[in-house]
Each structure stands twice: as structure tokens, then as C-alpha cells.
Structure 1
Amino acid sequence: MLKRIVFFSLCLLACFRTSAQELRANVSVQASPQLGNSTDRKVFSTLQTAMSEFINNRRWSDDAYTPAERIECNFLLTINAALGNNTYRATLTIQATRPVYNAGYVTSILNTQDPNVVFKYVEFQPLEFNEQRIVANDPLVANLTAILAYYNYIILGLDYDSFSPRGGDNFFKKALNIVNNAPDGKDISGWKAFEGNRNRYWLQDNLMNVKFARFHDVMYQYHRLGLDQMYEDTNKGRASIMNCLNLLMGIHQELPNSMLLAAFFNAKNDELVKIFSKAPPQEKARAVQMLAQLDVPNANKYQQLK
């Protein structure tokens, strides 16, 4: 009888593990003040539910996750304009975190904003996505799910990169597939190189470009050899993060003003200030020097470390 109980318990555990999804997303849809009062806001509530179910209930990988392993993330969709015919223009803010070993602390792996979200949504319409047929029947309907799927894969790729060397490659390839087959239309933007130097195309391009190969080394070293080691040896962990700054400086000197490095420092700037605030004077000065060059928008923040 005991063997049978154990067997059935293991079967239930296996079913439970394989049913758990990868992401635990907090999804919010809100109207910006500029939208005015002419639009029925009830549709935003059903859209929020549909987005939450799409992100949280769909399997995005073949790996088994326990509920505790799910990646914490936030998706905030701000509706800026109603274009008519159930079509909207919006800004999407995406944040994702990763827990740090032996610490009650999470580190940001992505904190970005996408202002190029135009989509069509009819109330109670289910959100559907097929990697083999991304555009489906209506590019404007497909654009929202393509954008959400794209950022889900970016989040997964960065998270996997932070736990194993080049661990996120398969997810970045899935993001590339979406970019290559993205919806196209008069109001749709963000998927093409010529539409700007800070969009979905360039983030994915940088992640897949061999010239940025050292960035993936940084993601692993920064998290596994840096943050995860600080519980046992703060100096050793901080030294690994300093080495990451050296690697990033090499990328910056060859490819200045890249979107990938901007995205990295947008997620990490406050954390880096805290990490080097307690460093020895010489190490702190070197960190400030590099950070001010690597992350010009936050240079004043780093200078306060002196």
C-alpha cells in the first residue's frame, strides 16, 4: 500500500510540475489622461484579463517549472489613443526580476518601455498566437500578441542567460522568428531597423549579433558569479561585477550607444550604485569612471558615489 501511495504521489507531482507555466505576470491596462472620456473603459478590463491569461497560462518553453520557480514580471499597457474601429495606440512597460541566491532580494533583468504598440481588440475576443503563422488573419489583431510573445521570449532568454552560459539562445531565436515574420501595416511600427534605433528590432538584433557575444558572458557572470556569490563573499562577488563592467566597456568602445547596453543599465543602474557604494576607494573610483561612460543618462547618479 505504501508503494502505491508513493507512486501516485509522484505521478501527481509530475503532473503538477509539467502544468506550471514559466511566467508569473502582473498585468495592468490603464487609460492615459490624454485619452479623454469618449472611449468605453470596460473593454480595458476584459483586455487586461485576456492579456494576463495569455501570458500566464500559456507554455513558453518545454521545461518544467514549479510555482516557486516562475519568473516574476510586470506588464503595464497604457492606452494613449483610440483610433476607431476597435483600434488603439498604447505604450507597453515591461519589467522582470530574478531572485538572488540566499538573499531576500530580487534583481531586475529587464526594465523597458515600448511606445510603438498599435493593435485591434474587440471586447471578450480571445488572444491567440501561433509561431508558425504570426500574422494570422488581421495584422492589427496579431500585433498585440506578437509583441507580448516577443517580450516573453526576451524575458525568458535573459533569465536563462543569468543562470547558465548562453542559456537563453533558444528564446532569443524565437524572438528573432517573431521579428522576421511580424505583422505589417500602415500604423504598425517597431519591428524594422529603419523605424528607429531603439525598438524591438534592435533589441533582438543586439542579442543575436556575434559582436555582442560578450554581453551573454556578462549576464552569467554578473548574476551567478557576482550577485549569487555575495552572500558568501561580498568582495569576490563585487570583483566579478567589476569584471563585467570591463567586458561591457569593450562592447561600448566598439559599438557605442547600443540599445542592448542601454537596456542593461536601465535595469541595473540603482543596483550598481548600491553594489559599489561600499567598495574600497580605488575600486569605487574605477567603477564610477566606467559607469559614467557606459551609462551617460545616469552619470550624475554614479558621480555621487565619489
Structure 2
Amino acid sequence: MKTNSPRPTAHAPRPRPMRYIFLAFSFWLLAFSSAHAQEIRANVTVVAGQVTGVDKKVFTTLQNAIKEFLNNRRWTNDSYTVGERIECNFMLNVQQDLGSNAYKAALTIQATRPVFNSGYVTSLLNTQDNNVAFRYVEFQPLEFSDNRVVANDPMVSNLTATLAYYVYIILGLDYDSFSPRGGDDFFKKALNIVSNAPDGKDIAGWKAFEGNRNRYWLQDNLLNAKFSRFHDVMYQYHRQGLDVMYDDMNKGRAAVMNSLNMLYAIQQDIPNSMLLQTFFTAKSDELLKIFSKAPPQDKSRAAQMLAQMDITNANKYQQMK
């Protein structure tokens, strides 16, 4: 089991064991038997319905290789039990054969976090990356090093660099939700990948000028001092909000409302940021449920702020009033 100080500092391990108190004792017996499990439990799906003229067994092999890469690699220096692993879904939709064993794909990434004292899980990340170009030869090992992000072939490296990038983003968000600024070290690892990312003709998503919604900008927002309050939001929303709702619904909802106030302040300073869009993509349905039974004044205030911050779902929020 992961060891922790009683009051974690910004860089101390977060209190992960608290996450799973609600699980059955028999499950804990199994978990303790594997005290050094990896951090990620990823369900991986590779689909290639749009690709023709390629032996589909290649994509089955690729699916198994990605699953092994994500689940069997140690991503942190912390010790996890089996029950503490972070639940994720990675779906790689291969859309185009670029020739010479190279492909263009879209990657959908989802990650969840259990809520204390309940069977409920909350979404930490739910995003799609439409610019994943890579080369894969069947049975080719997937390798990655933080010290050498790009190996001999940038197109080969781009797949593992992209996967590792999102693992570090997930870890950072997860750790942020358990201790103040707990995810900083992982966001810096994501920055290292962006700074040393593969470069090539079909590779995109790592540079600022390639768009305002890509890997560069998500990592930039997470480390930019202008968004420092976002990390307070992650901690307050989850540890002081969702995690206390079982014992005190009003107290937990008040913490979530305060989180919305902080997000609203960020929105006023930096409109239309990728970071807030990413947050609301993961949380919009949950926020509707949290405030559906709130007092009328709180419900109205939440709907007003949410409609301004999350324009995509503005109509849903307005109906909440």
C-alpha cells in the first residue's frame, strides 16, 4: 500500500488508500497480495473499420501491445495495490493507411476516480485527440523513455509519446484531486514530452501554432500560472466536495459551488481556454445531477455560471433553473 504523510504537501503522495475504504474486505485481501501493482488499469480498444487492404491481425496485435505498454509499465515511484489502480479507457480508431506501415488515427481517452464512501466514480478526463499518426509493424515492441522521447523513427515514437503524455495528464489530474498541487510533477513530465516530441510530415498536435486545442495547449494550461486556481478547483471539487457528499450533501455541494466560482473567475480572465473546456467535457452531466436538487437560489446561480463557461451545454444548464 502507498505510504503517506498525515497532511500531504504539494509534492507528497496523495492519500490513495482512502479511496477504497468502501470496497469489500475480501477485495482488500486480494489487493494487499499485490502491493506493487502498476498505477494504470487501462481497457484498450483498437478499431480499424475504415482501413482496407491491411491484415486486421496487425491491429489485434497492436491492441495487445498498447494494453501491455499502459498496464505493465511503472509510471511513478509510488507503490499501488491492485485496487488503487486508476481506471482508464483508451480507444484508438485507425482511420487511414498512410503507407509503409504508417497510419492516422483518433484516440479517445477516459479516466475516472472513485468517490469516497460510495460506489460512484467521477470522470477525470474524457477527451478525443484527432491527430495521432504512427508507424507500427506487427510484434514491434512499444518502447518509451522520458530521457529519450524520440527514438530512431519519429513515427514509431509518436505513438508511445502520445500514450505516455496522456498517462501523465491522467496521473496529474488524479493526484491533484487528492492533495493540493499533487499533480505538478506529472504535468511537468507531460511538458518534457511536448518539449522533446517527435517531428515529421504527418505528425501534429505537439506545437502551439498547430491549433488552439491540442496536446501543447492542454499541458500549457495545466502549468501556466494564469490557471493556478484550477488546481485548487480539482482539490476542492473532489476532496471537499464529492468526497463528503455521502455524509453531508449540503456541505459537499457548497464546495462544488465554490469550485464553480473559481472556474468562473478563470473564465473571466482567460475566456475559451482548452483547460476549462476539457474540465466541462468530463463534468457537465455530473454537475447537472449535483445541482438538480439544490435550493432554487443555488440552482439558478450554478446554471447561470455554467451556461457562460460551457457554451456547448448551455441549453441543458438553462433548463436546470
The reply to whether residue 227 of structure 1 matches residue 250 of structure 2 is no
Secondary structure class of the residue paired with 1:16: coil
The one-character-per-residue Cα deviations of 1:245-291 (angstroms, maximum 9, x if unpaired) are 00001100010000000000000000000000000111100000000
Matched residue, 2:42: 25
Secondary structure class of the residue paired with 1:62: coil
1:213 to 222, 228, 252: 228
2:70 to 55, 58, 64: 55
Secondary structure class of the residue paired with 2:149: coil
- State the distance in 2 between where 1:298 and 1:38 align: 40
- Counterparts of residues 1-306 of structure 1 (less than 5 Å): 16-18=34-36, 20-32=37-49, 34-35=50-51, 37-306=52-321
Question: How far apart are residue 209 of structure 1 and its match?
Answer: 0.2
- State the distance in 2 between where 1:109 and 1:268 align: 8
Aligned sequence identity (%): 73
- State the distance in 1 between where 2:55 and 2:301 align: 54
Question: How far apart are residue 39 of structure 1 and its match?
Answer: 2.1
Question: How far apart are residue 15 of structure 1 and its match?
Answer: 8.4
The one-character-per-residue Cα deviations of 1:186-234 (angstroms, maximum 9, x if unpaired) are 1100000000000000000000000000000000000000000100100
- State the distance in 1 between where 2:59 and 2:319 align: 42
Secondary structure class of the residue paired with 1:79: strand
Report if the CA contact (8 A) 2:110-2:123 is conserved.
yes
> Structure 1 length as normaliser, TM-score?
0.94
> Structure 2 length as normaliser, TM-score?
0.89
Matched residue, 2:4: none
- How large is the Cα RMSD of the aligned pairs? 1.1
Structure having the higher Rg? 1
Matched residue, 2:27: none
1:29 partner amino acid? V
Report if the CA contact (8 A) 2:32-2:81 is conserved.
no
Question: How far apart are residue 303 of structure 1 and its match?
Answer: 1.2
Question: How far apart are residue 41 of structure 1 and its match?
Answer: 1.0
- Structure 1 unaligned regions, length at least 5: 1-12
Deviating 4+ runs (over 4 angstroms):
none
Identify, as 1 or 2, the structure richer in helix: 1
- State the distance in 2 between where 1:201 and 1:305 align: 35
Secondary structure class of the residue paired with 2:305: helix
1:222 partner amino acid? Y
1:71 partner amino acid? I
1:30 partner amino acid? V
- State the distance in 2 between where 1:90 and 1:217 align: 34
